[in-house]
Structure formats: structure tokens, C-alpha cells
Structure 1
């Protein structure tokens, strides 16, 4: 069987980026699509969420397609659930976050257009989460990583 060249390879990142039950596996990166699209699987354990602040991104859309379980997204204050076979597009500039409030793990396919974020962001962010050793991640470090990779952390809620 002939080897696939760089333009036709499947699953360019065999790496699984993981911490605290969260896993990311890139299927397509910006380097492999001339920057037009990135795609990755995200697994969020039941009764969990992504321990990063709510955020927005002004340079790309993020579409979430449900594969297993149910993921809850809060987008501009509205809670939307995504289950198997359902899709939601998070528009540029919308403040959002992800949680899995269900009793089973959720697995979704995320598509970023254009491919303004890649594996490096998740490696760095997950390292901060792992360093927290079960406590909350260092918010200042997390926000610095987010900003450097084009995400804008939302202001904390006021009481």
C-alpha cells in the first residue's frame, strides 16, 4: 500500500491531549488545510466541564456536532444542549463555555473555521489544569494562554 502524502494523510495528529478525564484528538489541523479548517474530537466526562473561563473568539466560528452523550453549552447566556446527531455553531464573538451535566461521558466533534487554534493551545491549557492538582487552575496563567491563542476570556460574573 503506498504511503499517503502530506495532502492526503488521515488523522494528522495521532496525539491524544488529555487531563482530568478531558481528551482532545485533532483530526485535521490548520497546517494540513492551508489554515481553512481544524477539526478535533472532544470528550468531556459526565458531571464535568472544561475548567477554563467562559470566553469568545473573534477570528473563527466553532461548530459542535454531538457523537455520544449530551454536552451543555452556554452561549451568550442561553443554555443549549448537543446530543448525538445534533449540531450548534458558535458564532464569532459569542461568549460561551462547555459543561457535561449528564450521567454519561459526552463526545463531540469540533470544527473550527478558519483554523485559528490548534493542538498547542490545548497542550498548554491542559498543563495548567494538571498543575492545579485537583484545585482550580491558575486563572492568570490560563487567561494569558487563552489570549495568546486568540481567545478572549469573559469578565467574571458580577454579584
Structure 2
């Protein structure tokens, strides 16, 4: 399975679940809607950020040379676009099935403007996560190399 397909399916599940639970809870407790919207948004953003961060760390550890690293931003761009389309269609269907409060509008909106917003909610934190993850993974390589160089210098000074 392609890496982006796994991420698209996973992020679609997270986004659809957040939007559905948010819709149900807002109908039951309408006074807490604003707070709950921020919580649902934060969950989606954090999942993308952490998952991409882990991808970045793993890739940096696997490939010490930056030129050998995978193009993970394209993986996350594809995942974000597919997630946006899938979740827009599914949320529209859920809304048409009678789950009130999910906030679905017209089908055209869900697969255009709504999808653009959703894609941005995936791609932007994923880019930050990749950046931080690769920095952390590279930092680990540097500390290992620094330790090896220090040991070599000590051994050279003892023999000199």
C-alpha cells in the first residue's frame, strides 16, 4: 500500500470522526459549540503534526544524507487532498442520512471549498511536523557523529 493512501485513510477517519462527534455534541450542548470546535480542530491538526513528525524522524534516521531522503511532503500533499475529498463526500452523506449538526452544506461546496480547507488542515501541520521531525532525527545523527569524532581525537591524542 502506498504511504499516502495509508495516511489519507487514517486522516479521513480522524476528520470524519471529529466532525461527526462535534455535530452530535453541538446538538446536545449548543452552548459549548465554540470550545468544542476548537478542540475538534486541534485534534485533527495534532494528529497530522505528530504523524508527519514521526515520518520525519524515521526518514532522517534512515537516511543520514539529506539528498537520499524521501519526498515526504508530496506524500502528505496527496494524503491531504484525498482526505479532503473523502471526508467531504462522507460527511455530506452522513448529513443527508439525518445526523444533524454535522454542518455539511451542498455537495459542491463539500468537494471544493470545504475540501480546500480540510486539505490545508492536513498539509500545513504535516509540513511543520516533517520539518521538526527531520531536524530532531538529524540532530541525533550529529550527536552520534560528534561522539565518534571525540573518541577518535582522544585515541589520537593518547597515541601522540
> Structure 2-normalised TM-score?
0.20
> Structure 1-normalised TM-score?
0.20
Higher normalized helix content (fraction of residues): 2
Larger Rg: 2
* Structure with more contact order per residue of length (Cα contacts < 8 Å, sep ≥ 6): 2
